[in-house]
């Protein structure tokens, strides 16, 4: 039986292999399965390679602001030319998540988007 403490580390190492690729990626799974915890662990590692922005779409203010103007919202958070990593939790609450994610990906090439939901 695997030690539970090694599972996040193993998953984190696997996810880090994809960080330098341009594509967005999604971490899917049932509720309460550890997706947010995994992203929080990953965020600590990612701070070494860029600026990490953690957004939780369960927060009604975040969701409302994002849905009003997704491009403007992300643009208002981006700073400088350094690598930006947006970790977006509970992204499925967004009205048209696939469409909005593609729009962000096409517009912000310097940003890596990782979503859960």
| pTM > 0.95 | no
Specify which residues 25 forms β-bridges with: 114
| In a domain? residue 86 | yes
Q: Is 12 within a domain?
A: yes
Q: Which value, in Å, is the radius of gyration of the alpha carbons in the chain?
A: 14
Give, as one character, the DSSP assignment of residue 80. S
- Taken in order 22, 23, 29, 31, is the CA torsion positive or negative? positive
Q: Going residue by residue through the chain, which has 117 residues, state the pLDDT in tens, using 9 for 90 and above.
A: 444 555 556 767 777 777 777 788 888 887 887 788 888 888 887 887 778 999 999 999 999 999 999 999 999 999 877 778 899 999 999 999 999 999 999 999 889 999 988
Sign of the Cα torsion 32, 59, 38, 23 reads: positive
Does 83 reside within a domain?
yes
**Is there a domain that residue 1 lies in?**
no
Query: Do the domain assignments include residue 88?
Result: yes
Which among 44, 48, 52 has a CA at the least distance from the CA of 9? Answer: 44
Domain that holds residue 16: 6-116
Q: What CATH number does residue 43 fall under?
A: 3.40.50.300
Whether 74 maps to a domain, the answer reads yes
């Amino acid at each position: 039986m695997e030690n539970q403490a090694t599972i996040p580390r193993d998953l984190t190492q696997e996810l880090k292999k994809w960080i330098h690729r341009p594509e967005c990626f999604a971490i899917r799974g049932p509720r309460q399965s550890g997706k947010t915890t995994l992203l929080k662990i990953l965020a600590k590692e990612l701070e070494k390679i860029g600026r990490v922005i953690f957004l939780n779409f369960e927060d009604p203010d975040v969701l409302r602001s994002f849905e009003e103007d997704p491009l403007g919202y992300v643009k208002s958070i981006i700073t400088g030319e350094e690598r930006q990593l947006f970790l977006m939790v509970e992204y499925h609450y967004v009205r048209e998540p696939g469409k909005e994610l593609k729009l962000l990906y096409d517009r912000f090439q310097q940003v890596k988007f990782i979503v859960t939901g």
